Amino acid sequence: MRIAVLTETEANESRVAATPDTVKKFKALGADVVVQAGAGLTSGVTDADYEAVGATIAASPGTAADGADIVLLVRRPESAVLEIIKEGAIVVAIMDPYGAQDALAEMAGRNIAGFAMELMPRITRAQVMDVLSSQANLAGYRAVIDAAAEYGRAMPMMMTAAGTVPAARAFVMGAGVAGLQAIATARRLGAVVSATDVRPAVKEQVESLGAKFVAVEDEEFKQAETAGGYAKEMSAEYKAKQAELVAAHIAKQDLVITTALIPGRPAPVLIDRAMVESMKPGSVIVDLAVERGGNCELSEPGDVIEHQGVKIVGHLNMPGRLAASASSLYAKNLYAFVETLIDTEAKAIAVNWEDELVKATLLTRDGAIVHPNFKPDA
């Protein structure tokens, strides 16, 4: 049983799919682990660190992937990487399958069993495998740190002999994992924090962190959550009422963090040009949804821009800005899942294709796209 860990090929991806800690655990399961040279450098892990726990270092991706039964990645493999992975191998990564039909078809064409970690069901058994939560938690924290770095004033209230510095006002839009961490971080830094979300269940969580909850709490609001705990798409009427409330609130804020995403959909636009222009010069917006089109109309992916004195931060791959922490958590998520695909006594791969975790995350197998949400006729 051979497991390969490859260097990420996307330019702004600094994470790695395995750490020395998880390599050691894979070795204990009976696996030979091969790591591409330099795979962990941007996460602070050297080749020597991997070798110290028993991994073999391969000079090239082709050598690393040669004969590998399981390939671990952060991002979905590109065409050039698929070509070096043997047919029938298992590939586990964050696959970003929505709107990627051609890429999925290509993976199926290589007869690869491709597992998408972000499709892991949110059940008790799979909590330790939840990459969305582990990475979003770090993204929410980093968003506030980036906002504070761009903000030209102090965050907490400071009383000095020369006068008082008022506390910054921070508004978090979307109170999922990233949003709740953003609230907690902004509070720790001394800001006065408010937050909004269309899901009524999070109101109590927001208030428990010491933030004020801001939302139009009508009948539609009370039903605005899926069985899986995600936000539903709201009606145009509700969006208009919420936008009016938010517009009045945003004008008074110093920092705004947006985190709103709906799986499989473009990010909803929550902040339009007029709202940006209503904010005070020196204010900062951090758009965590910029990779999906952005929650702010003026966001530029991968850039920090300024519009009428308001800075709009559109960094890509926010978890990757904390690469060492993000890789550590992601690698543990991966290990916890891959362990379920291995017979620990026989020390061999033994996938239970009927397992609920396998069925929820498996995209391609035996030359076909098999996930019901992404089949060509779905």
* Residues with active-site annotation: 122, 127, 130, 133, 230
Q: What crossing angle do the helices spanning 131-150 and 323-339 adopt, rounded to 10°?
A: 170
CA-CA distance, 337 to 321, in Å (whole number)? 24
**Residue entry with tokens 């070795």:** 27
At a CB cut-off of 8 Å and minimum separation 6, what does 368 contact? 108
d(CA 340, CA 359): 13
Which residues, in sequence order, are CB contacts of 47 under 8 Å at separation 6+?
35, 37, 38, 40, 57
Residue 105: CA atoms inside 13 Å, Cβ hemisphere, count?
7
CA dist 261 and 174 (Å) reads 8
CB count, 10 Å around CB of 297?
Answer: 17
What residue ranges in the chain does DSSP mark as E strands?
2-5, 32-36, 56-58, 70-75, 90-94, 113-116, 158-160, 163-165, 169-173, 192-196, 212-213, 255-258, 284-287, 304-307, 310-313, 342-343, 348-349, 362-365, 368-369
Residue 56 · residue 81 · CB < 8 Å: no
Report CA dihedral (224, 230, 232, 238) to the nearest 10 degrees. Answer: 50
Report yes or no: 55 and 64 within 8 Å, Cβ to Cβ.
no
How many whole angstroms separate alpha carbon 64 and alpha carbon 56? 9
